[in-house]
Amino acid sequence: MRKQTKISTFSLSILMLSAATTSFAQITNNPDDIWWNDNFWGEASVSQDSGDQSFGTAANSYGTNSTFGYVPASEAKNLTVTVNNLRGENLTLQLNTDIAAGIGNKLVVRQNVFGNNYVVINNTGSSATTGRETLTIIEAGNNQATWTLKNKVEAGAYEYDIRPTAANANNIELYSTGKVTSTAQAATSFLNIAYLTTYIENQTLLQRLGDLRNSEVAGVKSDGFWMKGFGGKLSAFSGSTMKGFDMTYTGTQLGIDKNIDIQDGRLLVGIMAGFTRTNPNYNEGDGTGKNYTAGLYATYLNDNGIYVDNVLKYNSMHNQFNVKDTVGNAVKGTGKTQGIMLSTEVGKRFWLESKQQGFYLEPQAQLSYGYQNGDTVHASNGLKVGLSHYNSTLGRISGIAGYQIQGQNPVNIYIKTGVVREMSGGASYRFNNGEKNNHTFRSSWFDNGIGANVTISKQHNIYAEADYSTGGKFDNAMMNIGYRYSF
């Protein structure tokens, strides 16, 4: 064999792969060359002429399930091999591509292609794709073969498949399916997790402290310590990128406050802290979230039934995900953000019978403003997802109908319904520093619930509330149970 020379395009007169045994042979060029077919399976007869840089003959008449192509995967991505005919069954063509740059290995068959065959292209999470690219990978004069990807290809944040080209059905191209990868979906869902965790922690006064007026019925106006637990599930998310995501959660909050008697009422001033754990489920994996909160609150209760509740909170949120890519490889990612929220709730209780007992109605309104900063998620497969900061302005209008039972241990039961509206909530994200993709939380939903408060021996207040929210972009089922000790 003559001295081999480096070439970028090979020409084979015949390439035939078929039959049933697997002996091993190699075709190699200079050690620093890129070569077509690192491994031929079966017998191969190869000669190379350094003058015209072409293969004379390569023939394999023994092996099915053969692999041929540009390997190893770390090699260049813009080489072409040309053959006259390709015949085989269950062949695997391995190619390297950089679809974002519009280059890739290519197989050109001048005449006929037959068989049911496969294509393998490695995933590249760091590729700066837009999800609109196409790339021709096979050209043929008469393509009678069926070509199928063994696994969908992940390039950047998007999944790609193969199909005949629109201009020539004999040619095969790689194209975006329009679907984001499991990694991209999990990383962008950090926006949803942050927003929804803040929402479920933005408790109403009844959910946080119970019915303080129930204690007044028992003649209690004093300092107090409280703790509560809550849990639930969020589901049915909309949005093309973030759909297929639901989340269970559990949390605890506690606080202590000082009672200050003022004219015609009283003021409670307190501090609070909390922790919420979320467990998001994705199409191809799961994750965890941990949110730590600390805050201040001031609650004014007037003797005429009016109340005003103000809360200021800081949060630190930590998220991580574990998903599988199209090949089944594990991909991980983490994120961390901080935020603040300020909430004001007002309401007035109207007694339908005598004061402090019997039926009552209570209209309520709440306005909350929140800010959450942005983050960049670095996934282990090379994908980088930049998440923007966002502002949230939530308004709630609702009403309560309840019944107060007097006695040594007063009991209050109620039902509630209302509408919540997100009035801002604009956010965005970028894949691998690419183009901006907008996302919005703006929507409206109904918030309904039923609850009860019991005061025991004037010092112990036990309260519970079950809530269900539906409409807009998500559904939420939630249970709150709390305890307050007055001293």
Under the banding of pLDDT at 50, 70 and 90, the label for residue 45 is very low
| Per-residue pLDDT, 175 | 98
Residue 74 structural domain: 9-180
My answer on whether 230 and 313 are in the same domain is yes
My answer on whether 201 and 257 are in the same domain is yes
362-413 pLDDT, tens digit per residue, is 999 999 999 999 999 999 999 999 999 999 999 999 999 999 998 888 999 9
My answer on whether 163 and 21 are in the same domain is yes
201-210 pLDDT, tens digit per residue, is 988 878 888 7
| Per-residue pLDDT, 26 | 30
CA distances from 106 to 52, 93, 160, 172, 395 (A): 20, 10, 16, 10, 57
**Of 152, 180, 208, which residue constitutes the final position of a domain?**
180
Kind plus residue range of the DSSP H or E element containing 12: strand 9-12
Mean pLDDT over 79-104 rounds to 82
Half-sphere exposure of 458 (CA within 13 A, CB side): 7
My answer on whether 245 and 299 are in the same domain is yes
**Of 149, 180, 211, which residue constitutes the final position of a domain?**
180
Q: 44 with 59: CB under 8 angstroms?
A: yes
Q: 99 with 127: CB under 8 angstroms?
A: yes
| Per-residue pLDDT, 244 | 62
- With a cut of 80, say whether residue 344 has pLDDT above it: yes
Under the banding of pLDDT at 50, 70 and 90, the label for residue 93 is confident
| Per-residue pLDDT, 111 | 85
1-25 pLDDT, tens digit per residue, is 333 333 333 333 334 333 222 222 2
My answer on whether 341 and 363 are in the same domain is yes
Domain at 446, CATH number: 2.40.128.130
My answer on whether 125 and 167 are in the same domain is yes
- With a cut of 60, say whether residue 147 has pLDDT above it: yes
Residues in contact with 381: Cβ distance below 8 Å, sequence separation at least 6, in sequence order: 123, 125, 126, 154, 183, 325, 329, 331
User: What are the E-state strand segments in 115-239?
Assistant: 116-121, 134-143, 146-149, 153-155, 158-164, 172-180, 224-235
My answer on whether 358 and 432 are in the same domain is yes
440-471 pLDDT, tens digit per residue, is 999 999 999 999 999 998 889 999 999 999 98
My answer on whether 414 and 383 are in the same domain is yes
My answer on whether 111 and 215 are in the same domain is no
199-251 pLDDT, tens digit per residue, is 999 888 788 887 777 676 666 678 899 999 999 999 866 554 556 678 999 99
Q: Which amino acid is at 166?
A: A
Torsion angle in degrees (nearest 10) through CA of 200, 206, 208, 214 = -170
